[in-house]
Structure 1
Amino acid sequence: MSTTRVDGNPATSRAQDAIRILLIIAAAAEPLPPPAATEHPAADRPPDAVAVLESQVRLQKLDFWVRNPDFLADELLNEFERHGDLECYRQAAAILDSDEPHVRRYPMLRFLFGAYESLDDALAVLTSTGLVVRRKRGSSARVHRHDYYLTRSGRDAADRILREEPLFGYFVERTRFVARLADGQRGTHLKDRQYEQEEYRNTMIGEHIGSIAPRVRERLDRYAVVLGVSAS
């Protein structure tokens, strides 16, 4: 259940943010080989880590698509346009024909490197319980990257949510779908893809990125005419 911020935009609770971020990391993190199978494992790799999601930029961009179904639908239409994948068209139509663009949309602020929302509170929940380990890359003078290691406990928790918590079924489905959409792409690539959206790019720094649902609906309707199907 969401609350409303003083600016009128919906907001999630700390616990909801923690679960969403855990599910994103579980869906998008790259599996790690067992330590015994690696001749020279990274010295700072947590001993119980099973997967890693590299960079805060990547995590933020994946979170943007989960939190903004209208932008996700437009990206799906881009995939449909590039590859002719009808499943991407159907997924975009399902999003726009539902109430997702209204009740599932949690806007993010535009900063220097695109969409951003502080993840510190959510990550504090995950790290304090041993579900995720955050590692800083760089030096004490300049941290250039954060990596997020999913532990065995974190994987078990994500799997348990999938099996036993139907209330979070939406986020399980969305995070897995977004992870497939971004498979193999670094955070800077995802950032560039999102900057191709004029509304995203032109949002003033420090302001919330607005909805593009009406424009995406018009685009979907045009494709529906071409395909000879009903868009709603």
Structure 2
Amino acid sequence: MRLLLLIAAASDTPSDEDGDVAGEAVGVVRGQLRLQKLDFWVRYPDYLANELMNEYEKAPDEPYLLVLAGDILDSEEPDLRRLPMLRHRFGAFERLDDVLAPLVEKGLVRKSQLVNHERVTEHRYWLTVRGREVADTMLDEAPAVKWYRERTQLVVRLSDGLGGEQLKRRQYLVRDYADTPWNSHIPPITEKARARLAQLRERLTCTPNTASHRAGDDLL
């Protein structure tokens, strides 16, 4: 469910250059690394909140970013929603074949590889027509899915179309993440993020206006 909604939110429109598979799909996510990094922010709400605070410090006239971070850190979400990931050579990692197998089996997602000189240069994840239909109707059938829909959309908007390598570099800026030993679970940073949030709130002297809230709604 989580990965289907993430692929649906992150998909680009296939182009004619994508070949035959594109004719059977309505969206494509290019790159396993990008999908892994987006999934990390969904699975680690405290790291996502930290990234929202990074964006707020770059644009302090957009206090809605701090509001979104606060909504996460003021709740039990960092503990209840965390799904641990291992740190691999390229950062947060999970073997996607097994996780995606039910989606592939049901015809919701297809996978392909771009090969150059017998070497896989890119993994591609295709959202089928059926996959889009299920992603769009899932909320009606299971209201609990709402959190995942909103969170995957927020993560994709926050990434602003960045590729996997760019997202990896951003995530490695957090020392707890970068210092995690290989094949160990990346630890939470909840208390550090909450302490940072408290400091930023102390520095905040203006009240978010209506326009800022409307801008924040665009991220949800």
Tell me whether the two structures share a fold, i.e. TM-score over 0.5. yes
Does residue 51 (structure 1) correspond to residue 27 (structure 2)? The answer is yes
Q: 8 Å contact 2:14–2:22 — kept in the other structure?
A: no
Match in the other structure for 2:214: none
Query: What letter matches 1:216 in structure 2?
Result: A
Structure-1 residue corresponding to 2:11? 29
Please give the alpha-carbon distance, in whole angstroms, between the structure 1 residues aligned to 2:167 and 2:173: 10
The offset of 1:174, in angstroms, is 0.5
Identity of aligned residues (%): 45
Q: 1:13-24 maps to which residues of 2 (within 5 A)?
A: 19-24=1-6
TM-score, normalised relative to structure 2: 0.89
1:69 aligned partner: 45
The structure in which a higher percent of residues are helix is 2
**Deviation, structure 1 residue 44:** 3.5
Q: Confirm or deny that 1:215 pairs with 2:192.
A: yes
| 1:32 Cα deviation from its structure 2 partner | 3.0
Any idea what the Cα deviations from partners look like across 1:29-85, whole Å, max 9, x if unmatched? 11236xxxxxx5432324221111110000000000000000000000001001222
Q: By how many angstroms is 1:229 displaced? A: 8.3
Q: 1:130 to 1:46 in 2, by over 3 A?
A: farther
Pick from 101, 112, 122: which aligns with 2:78? Answer: 101
Matched, 1:184 2:184: no
Is this contact kept in 2: 1:46–1:133, CA < 8 A?
no
Q: Tell me how large the CA RMSD over aligned residues is.
A: 1.7
3-state SS in 2 of match to 1:148: strand
* Cα distance in structure 2, aligned partners of 1:46 and 1:129: 18
Q: Using the alignment, how far apart are the partners of 1:41 and 1:185 within structure 2?
A: 21
Which stretches in structure 1 are left out of the alignment for 5+ residues?
1-18, 34-39
> Are positions 1:88 and 2:72 aligned together?
no
Aligned length: 206
Preserved contact between residue 28 and residue 183 of structure 1 (Cα < 8 Å) = no
Separation (CA, whole Å) in 1 of partners of 2:121 and 2:14? 22
TM-score in terms of structure 1 length: 0.84
In structure 2, the gaps of 5 or more residues are 208-220
2:141 paired residue number: 164
Asked if the contact 1:60–1:117 (Cα under 8 Å) also holds between the matched residues in 2, the reply is yes
